[in-house]
Amino acid sequence: MSTNPDATSDDFPWARDWPEITDPRVRAAFARVPREEFVDPALRKWADRDAPLPIGEGQTISQPFVVALMTQALQLQPGHKVLEIGTGSGFQTAILCELTATPEGVPGETVYSIERFPSLAARAREVLHRLGYRPHLAVGDGAAGWPEAAPFDAIIVTAAAAYLPRPLWEQLADGGRMVIPLGARYEQTLWLLRKEGERMHRQWLGPVRFVPLVSPILRDPAMRVEMSNG
Ligand code: SAH
């Protein structure tokens, strides 16, 4: 088992259903990462459906289309440093590794991902390593970010937050992009945020439903950033 180096950029189950995903590098990444490796063997027959699946601990591997939409919005380039909150299965992490890989480097060396559940982080690490990816993985509250590795060219939050965590906004590089679902327990809005100096530009990407970002630090109002207009 391995990634598929010979795959054409439309060699994935959902290729014809995704006219919105126009970035050929994003499509090529989906052709290379085998989603079935990131789900339990008993669920593997469902892995080629464009739907979320359970991964244990009450969490889910995201719907592939949502992974693609979020990834495309980040406009990742080889060598970009990217932070993911919510490693979960590791599937999104692998996509990030593909898009930031450089010809001379090891795929994943500029990818950082944080997961709350040690069990999920351990399983994701095992699969990612088996497939040849070497992202930096940590267990903890991702809302605190990864200050030692900041600033990041891109940040992707794959769990739903009630507030934009201040540490993440502060750890985003000038000119950087962040994708984050913000809202209530069962319904959120997916936002693309861009940082330009002190300014926040925001773009609505659509309605989504993610599992919650569980973060004690967000109980402190000082840890939240108010969303500005425009
Ligand atoms: N990208 C993953 C999504 C998994 S679901 C995938 O496609 O497989 C979201 C994940 O975020 C869950 O695994 C959940 O445990 C994790 N999570 C929730 N709150 C978190 C927090 N504060 N810090 C880190 N991870 C968190």
Domain boundaries, the chain: 1-154
Q: Are the C-beta atoms of 65 and 88 separated by less than 8 Å?
A: no
Whether 26 is in the pocket of ligand 1, judged by its Cβ within 6 Å, is no
pTM: 0.96
Residue % of the chain over a pLDDT of 70:
96
Q: Which fold has domain 1-154?
A: Rossmann fold (3.40.50)
Mean pLDDT, rounded, for 96-124: 98
Q: Would strands 224-225 and 199-208 be described as parallel, antiparallel, or unpaired?
A: unpaired
Ligand 1 pocket test: which of 57, 115, 141, 164 has the largest number of ligand atoms within 8 Å of its C-beta?
115
pLDDT of residue 6: 65
pLDDT of residue 3: 75
Q: Which of 93, 81, 209, 218 is nearest to 144 (CA)?
A: 218
Q: How far apart are alpha carbons 92 and 121 in whole angstroms?
A: 13
Mean pLDDT, rounded, for 187-192: 96
Q: Which of 59, 107, 105 is nearest to 86 (CA)?
A: 59
